[in-house]
Structure 1
Amino acid sequence: MASTLCKALPDILCQFPELGRSDMLTFRRTVDSGFKSFVRAYGDVIDTTMQPLQWFLNWLENLFTDSPWIIFLICLALVVYITGRDIKVTIGTIISMLLIGFVGLWEDTMTTLAMVTVCTLIAIVVGIPIGILMARSERAQSVINPVLDVMQTMPTFVYLIPVVMIFGIGKVPGLIAVVIYAIPPMIRLTNLGIRLVDKEVLEAADAFGSSNQQKLFNVQVPLALPTIMAGINQTIMMSLAMVVVASMIGVGGLGKNVLFAINNQYFTVGFLNGFALVAIAIIFDRTSQAFGKRLQKHSEVVHG
């Protein structure tokens, strides 16, 4: 009996790969057909829901590109100075933007800035409430953390597949792909900042009879602002990194030029557009860091 089983076992094991491939093929066909049916049934509804986002992105892009360059440059320099109060960063911003205009990349840079601005606003509006929810609920954190892990470790090109299937080629699918890639730091650092608030400060708020809502908005969020600003900084950096990948599905700007340079092996075109992306990244990075330090100092003065 044992010898018969031993002789039959290799034949059974040899059939496992074929059975596995057959089951996997059936599973893939079922999932793909189900997803396609979902897109056919609800694609128009989803497109209609996302239409305001398309209008806002187009409006902001037209505002940036149609504004006289000198007006935009002055406004940008004022925003950078008021936010960071660093004259060196402000001068560096002006010089960088002038160089970008000198090499003929002003309009593409404005398109990229509009895309990154909208992506960052969406990440803030969606990410901060989710981060607050995670900070206030261990159950929510245990559910959301694995999702964030998948979002951060999944290859970026994989994001494009379902987005393109639902929305097709265009700016909105690229925008959604960028947000999916860039939002995890916003959520994680909001959660971390609120959790790091000193318990003694919360106990003092309880002693004064503060409600949970008052503690959140008057104590926890203000004290967590430097960490939240770090999350915004990382979101901006990741949005800029994803712009090149998103250019494969119709997002214009500097990312499209980099993709064109890669396909045609144009070193100079790729280098100049890469320089523009680096310049924007440095401007955002230095400005947000300076603003975060100012918030940290203010928090230490108020609660020190």
Structure 2
Amino acid sequence: MIFDLQVGLIGVGRLGQAIGRSFEYAYDRRLSVWSRRFAGNGGGAGEGEFDYKYPGLVSATLPYVADHEFLICAIPNWALAGVAHAHLHSFQRSSGLVFLTGADTPHPELATLLPNRTLVRVVPVILPGRSQFFFLACQPQAKSEIWRKGLAFLNTLGSVITVEGDEAFEELMIFTSPLATVIRVALATAIAEFLEARHANRRWQRIAEVIAAHSLSGHDFPIGLSNCVDHIATPGGITEAGLSESQALSQGVLAALHAMRNRADALGKVVTEIQTQTDLVRRTPR
């Protein structure tokens, strides 16, 4: 049964904390987590303790967390490779599935460091104001039973879209939280400037932002982005007037997408160079 799954977490950053809250909401129990914040720093929560700063989580040792059948890694993939290399026994004694949430390309040695694990890249999108996620997942080549169980687990935390192949995953991942954040910030700025130009009450800005966010969510009608005009716009209406200026908005979004893609490519090259240098150091005789 899904509710009997053994799940561990590595990392207590913003993503790790959000996963803890979502897990507790879905399963009514806390998620065991290991983090460097709890290890060897003389502060934070001790083993098995609860910390008010991390609801939904309980600290544990790395061997205990790594022993779980399902492991969520809420840290960069290069960092996971370093942790796994330093604690090989903890990671290699158990089998199961590892969810890689890092935006960076997985270290080529991860498959060797975690030989008994199925590695699945996922992008967890935190839905504002909720205890659920939306997931973009890269489907492994072999659709094994452990993958089917892992997919069922993700569905208990939110909805999941799966894609096949790293290339598709790399291209589509920027349309998740990165793009949504850029659009939210741009929209909030435009709303503030518009209301200021109209000499409107400043208290209206928050209301306007909430209205715009709900209008964009699509919960009121099951339509996508491309066919919304046919469902909403009235000939000669205010929507049509706004659409006459949409090309400039489209160009702005396109520029943001190119900037994010270029940065992702650059980060991938930097990580690759660091990995290559690290491999050379390891192989150099002493």
With normalisation by structure 2, the TM-score equals: 0.28
Higher Cα Rg, which structure? 1
Structure with bigger strand share is 2
Structure with bigger helix share is 1
With normalisation by structure 1, the TM-score equals: 0.27
Q: Point out which structure has higher relative CO (alpha carbons under 8 A, 6+ apart).
A: 1
